[in-house]
Structure 1
Amino acid sequence: MKNLIPVIALFILLSASIQAQNDFVSSREHIKITNWNFKKGNLYNAQKVEYNDTDWSLVKVPHTYSMDAIEENGYYRGPAWYRSSLEIPLSMTDKRIFIRFEAVGHEAKVYINGKSVGTHSGGYSAFCFDITEHIRTDDKNTIAVKVTNEHDFKRIPVTDKLFNIYGGIYRPVQVFATPKEHISPLYFGSSGVFAKPVKIGKDVTKLVIETHVKGESGKTAKLNCIIKDANESIISSKTTEITFSDKKEILKTPIEIQAPIFWNGKKNPHLYTAKIELKTETSSDKISQTFGIKTYKVDPESGFYLNGESYDLHGVAMHQEWKQFGPALKEKHHETDMSFIEEIGATTVRLSHYQHSETTYKLADEEGILIWSEIPFVHDYSGREFGNAKQQLTELILQNYNHPSIFIWGLWNEVRAWKSADEPCVQLTKELNELAHKLDQTRLTVSASDRSIKSNMNGISDLQAWNKYFGWYYGKYEDLGKWLDESHLAHPDIGLSISEYGAGGNIFQQDITKLDKPFGEFFPEQDQTLCHEVSWKIIKDRPFVWSSYLWNMFDFSAGDWNRGGIPFTNHKGLVTYDRSTKKDAFYFYKANWLDTPVLYIAERRHTKRKNELVNIKIYTNQDKVTLYVNDRKISKKKLTSDIHIITFENVKLKKGKNKIKVRSGKSITDEVEWQLN
């Protein structure tokens, strides 16, 4: 770490990218498979065509069979089967036919017409199989998938202590066809297209677009690559010729972009489009992808820089699950979640603790949100997960290599080598770090530690971040500042990031005198709010903190937890698990992170008051706020707080109902009703 960080501080990391979203499927003839017959259990011969599944349940994908994790302790961890009947149209005759799963939790064995076509282990990444030899066109075909979410010490995560391991086909499934000469979708489930920077400059940017292609030996083809800007104007084009052989073919197409417009975060998330066509005399395979160009660096003293300018990385971590659906989310749910992130004003998101939906990466590209993306190497280890951890990292990088929003690859979270630097998890981290740089020379690696500034696991990845819960599990909220200052003073060459901080908050608990953290039954919302007020003040005043991620954007399930008044739930989110309520802390950050008007009365759910005199706290980014109680003007105050809080002290309530209203200017208002008993 000592030798590495100064180099990173001086070297500008280059990153050019083409989205690995599902455009490479939707641009081809394809069929979405949504209707499936489903049954739990280790069923014998359920892959066979003649198997009778008439008594099975009819479900629609996305689907999970682990919804009991949200309501019960000890959710189902075991096998299940999905079966579907699919008719392949005659138009796919004499083509290559593929089936692609965006994710299956957590292991899948796929059968076509009773024959095995492949197995995939890992619950968060996509996988694709060539099923041409097993499928019949103009006829019904039986697709069967055996799924399990059982623990497996050879697969990460090896336990579910931090989040539930849901089972099921919980992301989309598609069958699609290509010509025999085609852009290959089999390279670890990726698009087969990668834009690799050679030189990035303001005057000219040089890229090499690597395209994985496959065709019959001796056949010839042309690869046409056209680059368009955001206005659909063609700015570059190139044609490469190929004669196929029996070997793996990778075409390298050099591209120059004159006076490039950089992908510049929320300031200007500019996306180019690459239109790629592999063309023979009789066939054509086309895919269209967007991409962006950026540079970045991390300085241990002054923080993060994007395209040569200081850029404040403040944001959230998030899981992908809703109380109503678990992880089986549709595109509209991912869009809703990203709209919350847009609304709060985050500039970065840590996608914890696994590869997220392709929709999420696509939206981050378009909205200019910088992404920390990671694999589920979390908390515990077995020493037997080396192969699967490397596989999942490979899939994460190659499937998402080209998203301009991704700036860093996460290798592990809270994995501890208690005894020595020779423990298997240390060696695995070294191998993962080496693999990440072999696959992607344009991005840094990072890991999230809950140990001290120095430990056996720390300092292996390019950057180190820390999960710090001062005031929740230990110490006081204010201790975060002391830890940061002492760590920076003692290790000025180490870049400091806070990868997690926060506190539980139950919106149904408003009596802060009953606080019973961190494992008790009472997690009042006001204490969560206090945690974030104190912590954000500490973080924002220290420019050497190159990024910060509050934990968590949304409440999420934890199957073995029973804390804070709502069982099986981690309550540290700023938004409730069902997405119905934004907690007070959400508006605190909104007032601090946005320029658009924010005016919000805090502690609004503390509706039953016992004291006649109350303090009324307002989160706002407006210069002046006027308070009214029961339609009577009480006071006007200027905003002087650097964390955007105005407090009206010792305001008198009357017995019974009280209408509290605040106004800024002529049109910005907020109001609540409290009861004084």
Structure 2
Amino acid sequence: MKTIKISLILSVVLLTVFNNLKAQTNLIHNVLNRKNISLNGTWQYIIDPYETGFYDYRREERKENDREAYWNTEKFDNKTDKKEFGFTDKYSIKVPGDWNSQADKFLYYEGSVWYKRTFDIDLSKTNERIFLHFGAVNYQADVYLNGKKLGVHKGGFTAFNYEIPVSILKAKENLLVVKVDNKRALDEIPTINTDWWNYGGITRDVNLVFVPQTFVQTYSISLAKGSHVAKSKTIEGWIKLNQKANENVTLEIPELKIKQVLKIDGDSIAFSVKTSAVQLWSTKSPKLYQVNISTNAEKITDKIGFRNVEVLDGKLMLNGKQIFLRGISVHEEIPNEIRRAYSAKDAQHLLGQAKELNANMVRLAHYPHNEHMTRAADSLGLFVWSEIPVYWTIDFSSNEVLAKAKTQLEEMISRDRNRASIIIWSVGNETPVTEARTLFMSKLVAKTKELDQSRIVAAALESFGIQGVQTVEDPLGAFTDIVAVNQYIGWYGGLPDNSRKVSWATKYNKPLFFSETGAEGFSGLRADSLTRFSEEFQEWYYKEQVGMFKRMPANFAGLSPWILNDFRSPRRNHPTLQEGWNNKGLFDHDGKKKLAFYVLKAYYDEMEKKFDK
């Protein structure tokens, strides 16, 4: 047996992390591996563009006992009753799923839709606490159960839950109603204008989660920063209960023969474990270990990989070795079905396409993707860039908007902090350079580092030059760990061969990364390379870009071109070549590879040989 030395620590840094978690004391993590009942399936709906079920005719929110409120549980049995709404199987919708793809009348709909279903529950187990957990709802969710409002959540791509008071539950026919509103607004995250489809609905899993009175709410388990170089490596982290308790928690990693009983006096405990047996996670060998966390009342399991990512001397390093990110940007969308991706099967499909390209990294743009994606990336050995939708022209002067951005940042990091695949947290995309914006974004960078010091922090900057030396000197680059920039030389300016006239530099001694580059190619449009929108033009674009990549400075750390698949966007309105689609994908609407795919794959094959010897 390997010698294992175990010690307990509770540093100022970890205390800070615990304090930062207080804003989410009600959010349960690792729901997939807890006792739960799925509420996925067929729900009934009412389209409510005037929000009649929520507001009365004076535009005041309806009261709990208002018979015209769409969450009301009263029965209308008298023939003289006036009732102007009702749920019926005639209007049914699948959950999880966006509404846009489920009926033609929803295609461009933005507004409120009421969702309703009922469920039964065994009330004999009164010792358990019950939570209603949503993987995501776009954008605002007002949640009601048996006529009582449980709460409101804003943010279309992060999880939330509410504890259900046992007093309002019934054994049969519990009425669950959710008002979903996907209208865009200037003071929301994202703001009113984006370049992707605003899919509305309950887009991710819904579960009832059962936990004991005192339970493990969340935890962080990772390789200690810098310990990858030591003979005896350190696994460290913390475990947080939902409330203060005097209780033992057992941490176990069976394959490493680690088992330690931790005494919690309060709500949190930090730990540090030394072992020489751990195999480090990498894209070539994505080793995951089963981790068990148990109390007298529950046992939680997870699959966790251990690795170290850092920036050293302007280079991006994994486990002490320089890496090159052969990336691709991905939207959470299944093009051939024109819908949001949401399932484990969808994740395997999208990430499988990335693997076909010989990518070792995916940029999950422009919002946190579903948990199946990050867990699949763990097992497939793909690096992940995960991002919040601070996008383009939000109100950078608003403290309220900043608070919303921080909330989404915290929710993203909290859910996925134990995923080895995630090496980059991104705080935004293509934000305009102003003093207010840089202050706003720098606060998000600082918040990210408060919550997680084990990963790289980035933001996708912009470059518009098409010739000469392009020096990236955006002031936000002083705060991020890498300098990531979106450039479209030859698509949004000039022609692809303008890339031959460009060289790159940055004022910061940090890795330089192209977070986007690309050109549209309409699948099946075959012409000469000068015909814009043809597959040949897109192919030429990538050939010229690859030539430029090969002339990049030594701190060039990789790229994530835009994008894996064609995707829906209302901004793209050419009547024959777009029709509401952004066609920059390397795969077309039906999953067919375009000519440009093979150009990028050949380059990635070459870079794999160079860096993965």
Cα distance in 2 for residues equivalent to 1:492 and 1:58:
54
Matching residue within 562, 581, 586 for 2:597: 586
Contact between 2:311 and 2:510, CA under 8 Å: does it hold in 1? Answer: no
Mapping for residues 337-376 of structure 1, pairs under 5 Å: 337-376=350-389
Matching residue within 181, 199, 221 for 1:195: 221
Q: 1:298 to 1:209 in 2, by over 3 A?
A: closer
Mapping for residues 195-344 of structure 1, pairs under 5 Å: 195=221, 197-198=223-224, 200-201=227-228, 202-214=230-242, 220-228=246-254, 233-242=255-264, 249-265=267-283, 267-279=284-296, 284-298=297-311, 303-323=315-335, 324-344=337-357
Deviation at 1:162, TM superposition (A): 1.4
- Residue by residue over 1:319-356, the C-alpha shift from the partner in whole angstroms, topping out at 9 and shown as x without a partner, is 01123142153321221111111111001111111000
Other-structure match for 2:547: 537
Cα distance in 1 for residues equivalent to 2:109 and 2:203:
16
Other-structure match for 2:473: 454
Cα distance in 1 for residues equivalent to 2:604 and 2:502:
24
Mapping for residues 615-630 of structure 1, pairs under 5 Å: none
Other-structure match for 1:435: 447
User: Which segment drifts farther, 583-592 or 154-163?
Assistant: 583-592
User: Which segment drifts farther, 291-300 or 330-339?
Assistant: 291-300
Q: 1:299 to 1:226 in 2, by over 3 A?
A: closer
Residue identity in the other structure for 2:571: D
Contact between 2:343 and 2:372, CA under 8 Å: does it hold in 1? Answer: no
Deviation at 1:70, TM superposition (A): 9.9
2:310 is paired with a residue whose SS is strand
1:525 maps onto 2:525 in alignment: no
Cα distance in 2 for residues equivalent to 1:268 and 1:55:
49
- Residue by residue over 1:394-424, the C-alpha shift from the partner in whole angstroms, topping out at 9 and shown as x without a partner, is 111111111111111111111103xx42x2x
Residue identity in the other structure for 2:239: T
Other-structure match for 2:10: none
Other-structure match for 2:184: 151
Q: 1:481 to 1:269 in 2, by over 3 A?
A: farther
Cα distance in 2 for residues equivalent to 1:31 and 1:91:
19
Cα distance in 2 for residues equivalent to 1:481 and 1:350:
26
Cα distance in 1 for residues equivalent to 2:385 and 2:363:
5
Bigger Rg over Cα: 1
Q: 1:289 to 1:91 in 2, by over 3 A?
A: farther
1:63 maps onto 2:97 in alignment: yes
Deviation at 1:242, TM superposition (A): 3.7
Cα distance in 1 for residues equivalent to 2:510 and 2:33:
44
- Residue by residue over 1:379-399, the C-alpha shift from the partner in whole angstroms, topping out at 9 and shown as x without a partner, is 111233111101011111111
1:588 is paired with a residue whose SS is helix
Q: 1:509 to 1:67 in 2, by over 3 A?
A: same
Deviation at 1:46, TM superposition (A): 1.1
Contact between 1:344 and 1:586, CA under 8 Å: does it hold in 2? Answer: yes
Cα distance in 2 for residues equivalent to 1:567 and 1:71:
18
Other-structure match for 2:171: 138
1:36 maps onto 2:43 in alignment: yes
Deviation at 1:198, TM superposition (A): 4.2
Deviation at 1:129, TM superposition (A): 1.3
1:294 is paired with a residue whose SS is coil
Q: 1:234 to 1:549 in 2, by over 3 A?
A: closer
Q: 1:568 to 1:260 in 2, by over 3 A?
A: same
Deviation at 1:287, TM superposition (A): 0.9
Deviation at 1:568, TM superposition (A): 0.4
Cα distance in 1 for residues equivalent to 2:186 and 2:367:
17
Contact between 1:208 and 1:253, CA under 8 Å: does it hold in 2? Answer: yes
Residue identity in the other structure for 1:501: T
Contact between 2:93 and 2:102, CA under 8 Å: does it hold in 1? Answer: no
1:589 is paired with a residue whose SS is helix
Contact between 1:39 and 1:81, CA under 8 Å: does it hold in 2? Answer: yes
1:550 is paired with a residue whose SS is coil
Contact between 2:310 and 2:455, CA under 8 Å: does it hold in 1? Answer: no
1:400 maps onto 2:416 in alignment: yes
Mapping for residues 652-663 of structure 1, pairs under 5 Å: none
Cα distance in 1 for residues equivalent to 2:518 and 2:265:
58
**TM-score of the two chains, using structure 1 as the length reference:** 0.75
Deviation at 1:312, TM superposition (A): 1.9
Residue identity in the other structure for 1:333: D
**TM-score of the two chains, using structure 2 as the length reference:** 0.82
Contact between 1:62 and 1:328, CA under 8 Å: does it hold in 2? Answer: no
Deviation at 1:258, TM superposition (A): 2.3
Contact between 1:322 and 1:578, CA under 8 Å: does it hold in 2? Answer: no
Deviation at 1:181, TM superposition (A): 2.1
Deviation at 1:561, TM superposition (A): 1.5
Cα distance in 1 for residues equivalent to 2:525 and 2:586:
15
Deviation at 1:286, TM superposition (A): 1.3
Cα distance in 2 for residues equivalent to 1:235 and 1:537:
50
Contact between 1:39 and 1:56, CA under 8 Å: does it hold in 2? Answer: no
Q: 1:94 to 1:336 in 2, by over 3 A?
A: same
- Residue by residue over 1:122-145, the C-alpha shift from the partner in whole angstroms, topping out at 9 and shown as x without a partner, is 000111111134542522211111
Cα distance in 2 for residues equivalent to 1:309 and 1:367:
20
Mapping for residues 510-521 of structure 1, pairs under 5 Å: 510-512=526-528, 515-516=531-532
Cα distance in 2 for residues equivalent to 1:58 and 1:567:
28
Aligned length: 542
Deviation at 1:234, TM superposition (A): 4.5
Contact between 2:140 and 2:182, CA under 8 Å: does it hold in 1? Answer: yes
What RMSD over aligned residues (CA atoms) do the two structures have, in Å? 2.8
Moved over 6 A (4+): 68-72
Residue identity in the other structure for 1:526: E
Deviation at 1:574, TM superposition (A): 0.4
Cα distance in 1 for residues equivalent to 2:178 and 2:412:
23
Cα distance in 1 for residues equivalent to 2:536 and 2:360:
25
Residue identity in the other structure for 2:563: N
